[in-house]
Amino acid sequence: MEKTVIEKFKLAKKMYEEVGVDVDKALERLKSISISLQCWQGDDITGFLGEKDIFGGIQVTGNYPYKATNFNELTSDLSFALSLIPGKHRVNLHAIYANTKEDVDLDKLAPKHFEDWVKWAKKEEIMLDFNPTTFKHELSKKGFTLSSSNERVRNFFIEHCIQSRKISEYFGKELNGKSVCNLWIPDGFKDNPIDLYGPRVRLKESLDKIYSHKLNSKYILDTVESKLFGIGVEAYTTGSFEFYLNYALKNNLSVCLDSGHFHPTESISDKIASLMLFFDSIALHVSRPMRWDSDHVVLFDEETNKIMKAIIRNNFEDRIYIGLDYFDATISRTAAWVVGVRNVQKALLSALLEPTEKLINLELNENYTKRLVLTEELKTYPIGDIYNYFCLINKVPIGVSWILENEEYEKGLKR
């Protein structure tokens, strides 16, 4: 098997080199790009604190066995998934994944409640990202948190978000990197509201209080994430793209673009080029929208490829934090992580194996015919042989062989 992979790689490498691609350099760049795995795929967003039911514009379907039920099970699953993916990556946590025996509510969470996560991350040599959990709580059941007309509700979630930012900064300091702290809220109306302005006034006031606490930007990247609509908020979401884009620009924050949070005809790949003119860094949640739902396992499809090309063609990989955001309980949860990350990596590799400078020159010289011919021909070039070699040199399973390891891993689980 190894010999075949190497032979195929050499032939594929020659093909790419003939069109001006440095394959070795492409693989070096690919290895340097980390992708953040969403911990909530491992247990269907149940978490370890508070409410077990899911509400707040989110729904998980399916009853595949082997769901993680505690910290040890979830970290075991994550470690296993990471062992099947080439390169070093990150893990993204929600606040409800605090591992503590203490009876603590969201507004009282502190770094000490995530010490076990930091120990695990140090062992894995990875970075942790973080998210306040503004859903799955008794005070969010009426559909509003930071934009609520109820001052008690607003103050509770303001304090929770302040504490969450401190936890994210703690991750950065302990793990010697920058932790992305991403804020998303489920606030909105199911049917057409009368007042479109008032909730956003309240949201702005809440955000002003949250971000008035200055933290070390060496260790934390604050991002805000919009959504077009959600379950139960089909008519209006307070945290729209226009609201957060303006708020972030004015307050020196960043934005997180979720590929499933826009209109089905919108593409975030085009937004990236515009945003990078005005932001030092942004974050992405790569998902796969389908009809009205946004949270399907990422495929190696046209949109994923367009997003990664928007990053690679402009050398944005050091300024854009790529994360996954989906939750599918109809298939193996560990496999869902591996498929998603590997597909994002393949899309990145496809972009890295493109003779970008040559294509740009064709475009500048208005040779659109040759540009089209070359980009179309590259679609059938043997990227799979290059990626298999990437897996080989990074000592992870090649091709579909990893699914056998996944099946053996699940057979050994007693859940």
Q: What are the two backbone dihedrals, phi and then psi, of residue 90, each rounded to the nearest 5 degrees?
A: -130, 170
- Quote the pLDDT of residue 292: 65
- Inside any domain, residue 392: no
285, 296, 309, 346: the catalytic one is: 285
- Quote the pLDDT of residue 293: 64
187, 222, 325, 328: the catalytic one is: 325
- Inside any domain, residue 307: yes
Name the residue among 215, 193, 99, 94 with its Cα closest to residue 144: 193
- Inside any domain, residue 28: no
Residues 12-42 pLDDT 10s:
999 999 999 999 999 999 999 999 999 999 9
CB 95 within 8 A of CB 352: no
- Inside any domain, residue 224: yes
Q: What region, left, alpha or beta, does residue 3 occupy, with left being phi > 0 and alpha being psi -120 to 50 degrees?
A: alpha
77, 124, 187, 225: the catalytic one is: 225
CB 203 within 8 A of CB 243: yes
**Domain count for the chain:** 1
Between CA 75 and CA 84, with CA 79 as vertex, the angle to 5 degrees is 150
98: containing domain? 34-353
- Inside any domain, residue 369: no
- Inside any domain, residue 343: yes
Reply yes or no on whether 137 is catalytic. no
174, 258, 303, 328: the catalytic one is: 258
- Quote the pLDDT of residue 61: 84
Reply yes or no on whether 40 is catalytic. no
Between CA 368 and CA 372, with CA 370 as vertex, the angle to 5 degrees is 65
13, 94, 113, 261: the catalytic one is: 261
40, 120, 184, 337: the catalytic one is: 184
**Distance between CA 254 and CA 403 in Å, rounded?**
37
Whether this model's pTM surpasses 0.85: yes
124, 295, 303, 328: the catalytic one is: 295
Reply yes or no on whether 363 is catalytic. no
- Inside any domain, residue 394: no
Torsion sign (Cα): 216, 220, 226, 232:
negative
107, 293, 306, 405: the catalytic one is: 293
- Inside any domain, residue 140: yes
Torsion sign (Cα): 108, 111, 112, 113:
positive
CATH assignment at residue 70: 3.20.20.150
Residues in the chain with pLDDT < 70? 51-57, 292-294
Name the residue among 382, 374, 379 with its Cα closest to residue 13: 382
Reply yes or no on whether 209 is catalytic. no
Reply yes or no on whether 285 is catalytic. yes
Reply yes or no on whether 261 is catalytic. yes
* Residues 6 or more apart in contact with residue 412 via CB below 8 angstroms: none
Reply yes or no on whether 295 is catalytic. yes
* Residues 6 or more apart in contact with residue 150 via CB below 8 angstroms: 142, 144
Paired residues of 130 in beta bridges: 93, 181
- Quote the pLDDT of residue 1: 83
227, 296, 309, 346: the catalytic one is: 227
